[in-house]
Amino acid sequence: MTARPSATDATASPPTPDGVPLFGNGLAFAQNPVDALERWATLGDVVRLDIPGQEMYLVTGPTLIEQVLVDDHESFTISPAQRETFSGIEDHAVTTTTGERWERLRKALRPAFTRDAMARYADRMVETTRTYVRAWDDGDQIDLYREMRQLTVTVLADALLDVDIRGREAVVMNAADALVDRANFRRPGQLLPDWVPTPTDRRFKRTVTELDAFVEDILTERRGTDRGEDLCSVLLDAHDAGDLSLAEVRENVVAMLLAGHDSPSVALTHIWRVLDEHPDHRATLAEEAQTVAESDRPASELLSELEHTRHVVAETLRLYPPTLGVTRQATEPVTLGGYDLPAGAQCLLPQWPVHRDDRFWDDPTAFDPTRWERATDRPEYAYFPFSGGPRNCIGRHFAKQELALVVATILASVELAVSVDGPLTFTPSLQLRPEPAIEATVTR
Ligand code: HEM
């Protein structure tokens, strides 16, 4: 167990990693984000980062993470980085709003994320995955991450929105790429003032216009008689009741399409990669998958039987969290881990180093799904792939159910032999997207 320095005097400044002139710590982060986060986290539970023009802190102690997200959540708001990244596309969505408007939007979305709603989505998740996988032939070489993205966009559209998106998935994927690129630390245009147009800005505008038009079409169709219990219907009903504007309806559908497919696809890509490295676990999962495939009970009832699959999902989200972290900005002076942080301080709560911290995890870098079978006194926020507190991921139950059902459905009919082209590195952006090409060979 490694002890970490902590503050003894609130006027002291948290430790700061060595940086380079002009770029401070930004360069190390751009080069290898997860390596930088791991090294910096060893300096203390609160670390001040030298990022030019920003008052930025890295917070990696679970109790402090809980303080920011839960106990003192009213002293924090979303970060300027989050607001800037989504501006022009989700200004009226739950992802970027605050205060009364955010509360109203969260409340309007809730009926689409209840336990009953999840049970309704389960069979669609399985059916969509089955149909998708049928197109893979024995011996096919697939671009694994791309296929997983296409699959998760389709599952999300089918299950959550009741929209057949086949053939139009690229509209969503292109906009997501533009967003991730906008926040990419390695992008040369990052250092230019906002008013200088860059190719990234132009691509962003183009893809956003296409996605907006696509969602507008869906809503126009649905505005007529064809209402059900899906998310589009829930939001349009809220509009009819005078609770949401049309811009709010449209931008929340956009937000779901983007937030709801990217992280699950990253997670699925890692799941296939780690299962390929651990054939013993893959065999156990394949057995569970067969039992489920042979049953004629509703998919929502089968989840409890996918115990090892759920543990593999949890363990993969621990070792390879799809998001860089949760970001917040202090709205007033706060004391965190014994340090006084000024109003306006930005906090980055990164999952990667916390999920691998040897103070809370035995053999932290080992892939061991069985650790989820054992009771533990680990602090709650040593694991937070979906964040926590009132602003946590609204799609967390959808995502966990989707990951388990998709894995079981695929394993019931095919095996994937995975190859990664080079060391596993990640895009330095809001999503920790794998950078090397990841291919899989299909065996039916
Ligand atoms: C493995 C899959 C997923 C992971 C790891 C993940 C993770 C996260 C994280 C870390 C946040 C930030 C919360 C915060 O700022 O405190 C978030 C927010 C959000 N997620 Fe997810 N997510 C996943 C899947 C989904 C899915 C499937 C949906 C929709 C169906 C979704 C919709 C959202 C939305 C709308 C927000 C913003 C919530 C708000 O600000 O109130 N996510 N997610």
Indicate which CATH number applies to the domain containing 161. Answer: 1.10.630.10
What pLDDT, on the 0 to 100 scale, is given for residue 10?
Answer: 55
In a domain, 11, yes or no: no
In a domain, 376, yes or no: yes
Ligand 1 binding pocket includes 180 (Cβ within 6 Å): no
Q: What percent of the chain has pLDDT over 90?
A: 78
Helix axis angle, 231-240 relative to 199-223, nearest 10°?
Answer: 70
Per-residue pLDDT at 6 exceeds 80: no
Ligand 1 binding pocket includes 393 (Cβ within 6 Å): yes
pLDDT band at 74 (very low <50, low <70, confident <90, very high): very high
Closest by Cα among 141, 163, 143, 145 to 154: 163
Taking CA atoms, 110 is separated from 116, 247, 253, 393, in Å, by 11, 18, 13, 12
What pLDDT, on the 0 to 100 scale, is given for residue 124?
Answer: 95
In a domain, 20, yes or no: no
Cβ atoms within 10 A of the Cβ of 308, count? 18
Ligand 1 binding pocket includes 355 (Cβ within 6 Å): no
Per-residue pLDDT at 1 exceeds 60: no
Taking CA atoms, 67 is separated from 77, 278, 347, in Å, by 13, 37, 12
Ligand 1 binding pocket includes 95 (Cβ within 6 Å): yes
pLDDT band at 271 (very low <50, low <70, confident <90, very high): very high
Segment 231-242 shows an average pLDDT of: 95
In a domain, 6, yes or no: no
Closest by Cα among 76, 64, 56, 69 to 6: 64
Give the neighbor-by-neighbor strand order of the sheet with 438-443. 141-143, 438-443, 415-420
What pLDDT, on the 0 to 100 scale, is given for residue 180?
Answer: 83
Closest by Cα among 280, 287, 283 to 305: 287
- What domain count does the chain have? 1
Task: Say which range, 8-12, 22-26, 77-81, 140-144, has the weakest mean pLDDT.
Answer: 8-12
What pLDDT, on the 0 to 100 scale, is given for residue 102?
Answer: 96
Both tokens of residue 88?
A: 């022009």
Ligand 1 binding pocket includes 252 (Cβ within 6 Å): no
| φ, ψ dihedrals at 13, nearest 5° | -100, 145
| φ, ψ dihedrals at 349, nearest 5° | -110, 95
* 210-243 as b/e: b if 16+ CB within 10 A: bbbebbeebbeebeeeeeeebbbbbbbbbbeeee
What pLDDT, on the 0 to 100 scale, is given for residue 328?
Answer: 97
What pLDDT, on the 0 to 100 scale, is given for residue 188?
Answer: 61
Ligand 1 binding pocket includes 112 (Cβ within 6 Å): no
Per-residue pLDDT at 196 exceeds 60: no
Ligand 1 binding pocket includes 398 (Cβ within 6 Å): yes
* 107-116 as b/e: b if 16+ CB within 10 A: ebbebbbeee
Task: Say which range, 119-123, 223-227, 368-372, 385-389, has the weakest mean pLDDT.
Answer: 223-227
Write down the mean pLDDT value for the chain: 92
In a domain, 57, yes or no: yes
In a domain, 1, yes or no: no
Task: Say which range, 4-18, 88-102, 219-233, has the weakest mean pLDDT.
Answer: 4-18
Q: How many CA atoms lie within 13 A of 29 on its CB side?
A: 26
- For ligand 1, atom 7, name the residue with the nearest CA: 386
- For ligand 1, atom 23, name the residue with the nearest CA: 263
Mutate to test the pocket of ligand 1, among 66, 393, 429 (most ligand atoms within 8 A of CB): 393
Per-residue pLDDT at 393 exceeds 90: yes
Per-residue pLDDT at 389 exceeds 70: yes
**Angle CA(354)–CA(358)–CA(360) in degrees, nearest 5?**
70
pLDDT band at 85 (very low <50, low <70, confident <90, very high): confident
Taking CA atoms, 269 is separated from 58, 144, 294, in Å, by 27, 6, 26
- For ligand 1, atom 3, name the residue with the nearest CA: 263
Burial degree of 47 (CB within 10 A; 0-12, 13-18, 19+): buried
Segment 370-399 shows an average pLDDT of: 97
In a domain, 19, yes or no: no
Closest atom of ligand 1 to CA, residue 322? 5
Q: Which long-range contacts (CB under 8 A, 24 or more apart) does 25-30 make?
A: 25/49, 25/50, 25/51, 26/51, 26/52, 26/185, 29/185, 29/428, 30/185, 30/186, 30/428
- For ligand 1, atom 18, name the residue with the nearest CA: 393
Closest atom of ligand 1 to CA, residue 391? 41
Specify the higher pLDDT residue, 205 or 347: 347
Segment 116-136 shows an average pLDDT of: 96
Segment 27-33 shows an average pLDDT of: 89
Please tell me the distance from the alpha carbon of residue 187 to that of residue 223, in angstroms, as a whole number: 40
Segment 325-342 shows an average pLDDT of: 97
pLDDT band at 7 (very low <50, low <70, confident <90, very high): low
Give residue 73's domain range. 26-443
In a domain, 10, yes or no: no
pLDDT band at 430 (very low <50, low <70, confident <90, very high): confident
Both tokens of residue 320?
A: 């390879």
